[in-house]
Structure 1
Amino acid sequence: MPHRRFTVLVVDDTALFRQRIIRLLNDQHIHLIFQARNFEEAISCIQNATVNLVLLDISMPGKSGIQLLKLIKSRYAAIKVWIISNHADEYYKQVCMSAGADHFFDKSLDFEEIEHKLRTIGNEMQTTEIAK
């Protein structure tokens, strides 16, 4: 049985942030990475590729990350969604968690925690690969 690759979609309208996250993912040997700047690009990616994890910002031009979160959870329930946003007050956290977010991170304060979670995923992937 062939190894199923772990894929990540990074959705953020800020290129610099996407690059920073992609660098972290590559450091954890997660190399199947897609990126999108907005709702429409993200949906196109999800429809055309197998995505395991979406790293999603709330504020984007056009439709919001919250709208995308709700759509993903209603149509693609197996996809994990981590919200990574500067809108980190309790209101947004509650809205996102109620809509099905798997984690909620403050983009400014929780970057080390994001790194830790990504490292955990990278380690799990390597352990799975070694066990095969």
Structure 2
Amino acid sequence: MNENIISPFLKVVTVDDSPLVAERMGAILNDIKGIEFLENAKTIISARNLINTVKPDVVILDINLEEGEFRQTGIDLLVELRQNYPQMKIIIFTNHNELHYRLVCLAKGANYFFDKSSESHKISDVIKQWIIKK
């Protein structure tokens, strides 16, 4: 097999309102062969628009997002994505690493739940496994 040809690509979108985290995730994702990192969305509304337009294979989603007057969380978007895109892979990536949040997110359909402060390296491992399985 020719190692220069990596196909099919996984399309990945991140949803995080922190520019620093978005930049860090972009760097991690851009180092993975076999994915196409599309964009980061900062709000629920922009995430919804981006996801509905590009139909990514993977969404990396924070729980706490700034959303103005209508306060929604990443958990709300998780539920919506799971209903509308049942095959989509969803990784929760958050500083809210309490057991309650982990259990809620996994029960609502997240494939994985990772702590931003200590588990960012696990995201690339998981995505690499999904590339192999695709």
User: Do they superpose with TM above 0.5?
Assistant: yes
Given that 2:92 and 2:113 are in contact with CA atoms closer than 8 Å, whether structure 1 keeps it comes out as yes
What is the aligned length?
A: 123
TM-score (norm 2): 0.83
The equivalent of 2:105 in structure 1 is 96
- More off after superposition, 80-89 vs 107-116: 107-116
> Over aligned residues, Cα RMSD in angstroms?
1.8
The equivalent of 1:117 in structure 2 is 126
The equivalent of 1:9 in structure 2 is 13
1:1-132 to 2 correspondence within 5 Å?
4-29=8-33, 30-62=35-67, 63-121=72-130, 124=132
| Unaligned segments of structure 2, at least 5 residues | 1-6
Higher helix share: 1
Deviation at 1:79, TM superposition (A): 0.9
Given that 2:62 and 2:74 are in contact with CA atoms closer than 8 Å, whether structure 1 keeps it comes out as yes
Given that 1:5 and 1:32 are in contact with CA atoms closer than 8 Å, whether structure 2 keeps it comes out as no
Deviation at 1:118, TM superposition (A): 3.4
Could you tell me which amino acid in structure 2 is paired with residue 76 of structure 1?
Y
**Residue 68 of structure 1 aligns to a residue in which SS?**
helix
Given that 2:62 and 2:92 are in contact with CA atoms closer than 8 Å, whether structure 1 keeps it comes out as yes
Could you tell me which amino acid in structure 2 is paired with residue 87 of structure 1?
H
